[in-house]
């Protein structure tokens, strides 16, 4: 007896839950948890079920596809560790938080490698026996630099997610498209406020009383991809922007790790530049 | 076409979602939202569905009872305003918050009356055209006092909830049992810390860095009933206990109103001295 | 023996605390609380002291001005109720929260009047015996409409603050300049995100996981004045923009009331389009 | 020119700020920040100043002692790294968070050693080149076990703080007294709720809607020492106690690291079983 995750993304119509639960019943599956969401405005239906039973994955998948509307996306997943690549620049906190969680066995993930444009984090990463690849951007055109990174990523057979743990360079459309819906970023502001460079400096200049962090999938518009998780903390007039930056690290790392965990547990649907999270 | 809320509380077994959704399908109902929870430890299953259609409530109820395990509790509810009585003592903030929400049409409720052991709040309540009943406890045994209150409550035909908006007297078992699972209280601490009298003083003496409020159904053990909602705010060494009391009012009123809203929208199941909230 | 608030806003230089505390000592004043802030970047010094003693306000003021750098702003204030005008449109929650706090004696304020461009809130406001002035904007040029409002405001001898409790029309520079640093607004987003109309709709479209509210002084750039207080709450994919709007009301009213309280207690300094809050 | 921290703990009386700032002025010191707190109830005065200048520490200390009331505690501190020992058992998250912060240079601390009653964390700690001492409690009386730990601690010349990063054994009075006001613990509940063993299980059984963590100095009453920092997160009915435990780790590690940072920066005064934190 095993557990499976069933993800369904389809157009809404009457009877969907009935149809899905009929299939589960016929396959003699026990539903451990069930989450559904109907977006009336866009006529969309999303469902994530965790079921328990003895089943052929493909047969279950086919039975669901058969009974559901055309163009339905169905995934039946036997939970296993996903393969991730982490990209970073010089800061240690977000990367370190993931490394410790990985070491503690908290993450359903294999970290295949950490790629950075500096060698500053190599000492930390190599402690954990994880390959560290320095690909300096110096003296390279942006396209050349990204090609090298993409070659490094693509040297691995299967990469489920590319996690930007404070990778401080903007990615080009070519890169983003190559890993569509697979790149998870942490931006150090409560988006959509303070897009772009140095959000803490922007926040300081604006005199805000909260600062925050946003984890999102990356698309071709800077800091405008589907948001996965957001959190804020309070600041006051006594915070200079470097104090904000220091204090913000805690919220950055927590939010990125939370988003990564949601992705690894197959809890995120993406549509209409938004996320549905179960 | 109308909306109905369907509440199911039963023992867990395989196929429950299938059975319920089959009934919905047969009655040609559209599911607007569905929430389920399985408590493996206690082998319990809870479900709240909002459905849309044209249906005879009793027939739908019977069809669900027929197909579900024995001892299942099924409720099919056509949303309508519930009748509530508010009890208060001298403080204005929690009562005032409910009065304003009621006036703004935010609550699915008719306020039948406000009962208090003082006349201090009469001026406020009567502004809103709501009956105010002063039942002083002075010179009365506790049982006599409560009898008078119960008579006042019971003079109304149907009372769905009794809301204690900072009613500062302890209720006896006779009172509590008369309105089982119908009395919603706000306690001014994050329970189970600081049970009983003057929780802010207790909090100050302990030197805590957070204070809070807890809304719960009342049972016969003081401040030990099923918790509906809780919230905290930060304090520091500069807060004396009266400052805590002042600042705590905001969280008290928000938490009580949130709990009341959940109750009015039939979102709360109570079991094992806990709540399931959809 | 009385309490006074002393507010000092000056350029930073060595010995300021020494000089101020020397004056307090010479006037035989007891310091109940003292807050200071030095902004190194802008070379500014702010201080708010609460002192206890028997003193001539003007003499104390003069002694401080004498000893402090040129161009220092000194205010010595004997706490008393400030006069406020509330402006609103149709929504009840933020206005209602202030009315209840006022009724409960929580605010150091006299509410002189509520001015609205609709008569919808008259029933609520008049319950509290507070003058309600409807000044419809229909069939009026913006300038004419504002002139009428300004005349209504200026018919009162002394107005300390104009509180915009969800007043939904944009104010012109003429109006803003007439009440500089006196207009407190609540904007229903975590600024600087979602400036302008319908921020909940904007937030929904962007797919954010938090919504918020910002209280700020009004200046001539829409939603860009000095921020006093901000707060957020979490939302998820199941929130349509009207759900956000409904849930957002709680945070709007709390944040506006918090900002108003800070202003009434003379806790806010404004400079460089920011606030220092003690 | 250097920065110094000046900590003053004394009985309140008129003129204290005047006296202290006079000394600073005479020593030609610039005040970078100043925090004061007067506890009227206990007639106590606390002050923490950061000053900038060229000064002999002992002379400054003596000048302050001379001018202040008898029994005043004065500390003049030139900031430097403090020496800490971490004690842990088997969990990685709180320890790991400190190790990463230490590696990133965020902490004003040297980690002299990690002491554990198991060898489970040795692999992690030794990656960072920090001595790991396993002192098993098996087959030992509690007193014997603690003697061994104390010997290990005392083998270091100077230990400023002993940090219990989820050290899961109760300490005896002898141990606690040996390191009075030096032992910082993280307890995995919002104290005073859920004192003692397995607070998440207690929280689950009580049906709370929030869980939390509390960092405090350890004294001889279990989980009753002066609280330094507290934080909570929301949970719902779907959380079993192991889910609470998993989710609680994030708040545990953030709260412990926050408390440690406050201690390292000399921001904590302890009195009356409470903390004053600047």
> pLDDT tens across D18-60, in order?
999 999 999 999 999 999 999 998 999 999 999 999 999 999 9
Q: Is A37 on the interface with C (CB under 8 A)?
A: yes
User: How does pLDDT run across C83-112, given as a tens digit for each residue?
Assistant: 999 999 999 999 999 999 999 999 999 999
Looking at residue C31, its pLDDT comes to 94
Looking at residue B133, its pLDDT comes to 98
* Distance between CA atoms of residues A28 and C18, nearest Å: 81
Looking at residue B221, its pLDDT comes to 86
In percent, the amount of chain B with pLDDT more than 70 equals 100
Query: Do C172 and C137 meet the contact criterion of CB atoms below 8 Å apart?
Result: no
Looking at residue C67, its pLDDT comes to 96
Q: Do A18 and B22 touch (CB under 8 A)?
A: yes
| pTM check: above 0.90 | yes
User: How does pLDDT run across C141-159, given as a tens digit for each residue?
Assistant: 999 999 999 999 999 999 9
Looking at residue A222, its pLDDT comes to 82
List of residues 6+ apart from A170 with CB closer than 8 A? A222
Burial class (CB in 10 A: 0-12, 13-18, 19+), A78: exposed
Looking at residue B112, its pLDDT comes to 98
Which residues of chain B have a CB within 8 Å of the CB of C233? none
Check whether D1 has a pLDDT greater than 80: no
Query: Do B47 and A35 meet the contact criterion of CB atoms below 8 Å apart?
Result: no
Task: Please indicate whether residue A243 is annotated as part of the active site.
Answer: no
Q: Which one of A40, A209, A274 has the shortest CB-CB distance to C207? A: A274
Strand positions, DSSP E, C78-182: 82-88, 109-116, 132-134, 161-164
Q: Give the nearest chain B residue to C127 (CA atoms).
A: B127
Q: Which of residues 118-157 of B touch A (CB under 8 A)?
A: none
Looking at residue C229, its pLDDT comes to 98
User: How does pLDDT run across D170-198, given as a tens digit for each residue?
Assistant: 999 999 999 999 999 999 999 999 999 99
* Distance between CA atoms of residues C80 and C86, nearest Å: 19
Subunits with 3+ C-beta pairs closer than 8 A to B: A, C, D
Residue given tokens 């470097």 in the structure block: A242
ipTM confidence score: 0.95
- Rounded to 5°, the CA angle D239-D240-D243 comes to 70
User: How does pLDDT run across D150-163, given as a tens digit for each residue?
Assistant: 999 999 999 999 99
Burial class (CB in 10 A: 0-12, 13-18, 19+), D141: exposed
Q: Do A22 and B22 touch (CB under 8 A)?
A: yes
User: How does pLDDT run across B68-96, given as a tens digit for each residue?
Assistant: 999 999 999 999 999 999 999 999 999 99
Looking at residue A119, its pLDDT comes to 98
Residues of chain A with confidence (pLDDT) below 50: none
* Distance between CA atoms of residues A65 and A7, nearest Å: 12
Nearest-CA distance C50 → chain D (Å) = 12
In percent, the amount of chain C with pLDDT more than 70 equals 100
Confidence of residue B1 (pLDDT cuts 50, 70, 90): confident
Q: Is C192 on the interface with A (CB under 8 A)?
A: yes
Confidence of residue B245 (pLDDT cuts 50, 70, 90): very high
Looking at residue A62, its pLDDT comes to 97
List of residues 6+ apart from B42 with CB closer than 8 A? B271, B272
Which residues of chain C have a CB within 8 Å of the CB of B121? none
Looking at every residue in chain B, the average pLDDT score rounds to: 96
Q: What is the mean pLDDT of residues C31-47?
A: 94
User: How does pLDDT run across D81-122, given as a tens digit for each residue?
Assistant: 999 999 999 999 999 999 999 999 999 999 999 999 999 999
Check whether C222 has a pLDDT greater than 90: no
Looking at every residue in chain C, the average pLDDT score rounds to: 96
Q: Give the nearest chain A residue to B13 (CA atoms).
A: A30
Q: Do A124 and D103 touch (CB under 8 A)?
A: yes
Looking at residue C207, its pLDDT comes to 97
Check whether C221 has a pLDDT greater than 90: no
């Amino acid at each position: 007896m095993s557990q499976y995750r069933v993800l369904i993304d389809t157009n809404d119509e009457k009877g969907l839950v009935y149809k899905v639960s009929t299939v589960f019943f016929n396959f003699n599956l026990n539903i451990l948890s069930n989450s559904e969401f109907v977006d009336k405005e866009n006529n969309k239906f999303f469902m994530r079920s965790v079921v328990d039973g003895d089943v052929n994955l493909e047969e279950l998948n086919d039975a669901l596809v058969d009974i559901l509307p055309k163009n339905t996306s169905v995934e039946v997943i036997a939970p296993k560790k996903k393969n991730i690549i982490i990209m970073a620049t010089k800061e240690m906190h977000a990367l370190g938080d993931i490394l410790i969680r990985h070491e503690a066995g908290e993450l359903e993930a294999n970290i295949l490698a950490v790629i950075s444009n500096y060698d500053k984090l190599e000492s930390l990463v190599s402690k954990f026996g994880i390959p560290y690849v320095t690909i300096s951007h110096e003296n390279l055109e942006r396209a050349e630099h990204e090609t090298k990174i993409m070659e490094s990523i693509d040297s691995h057979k299967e990469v489920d997610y590319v996690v930007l743990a404070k990778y401080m360079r903007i990615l080009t459309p070519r890169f983003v498209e190559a890993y569509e819906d697979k790149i998870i970023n942490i931006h150090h502001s409560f988006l959509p406020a303070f897009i772009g460079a140095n959000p803490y400096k922007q926040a300081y200049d604006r005199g805000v009383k909260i600062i925050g962090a946003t984890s999102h999938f990356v698309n071709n518009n800077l800091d405008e991809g589907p948001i996965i998780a957001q959190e804020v903390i309070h600041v006051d007039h006594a915070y200079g922007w470097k104090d904000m930056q220091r204090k913000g690290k805690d919220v950055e790392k927590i939010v990125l790790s939370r988003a990564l965990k949601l992705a690894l547990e197959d809890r995120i649907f993406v549509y209409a530049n938004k996320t549905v999270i179960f």
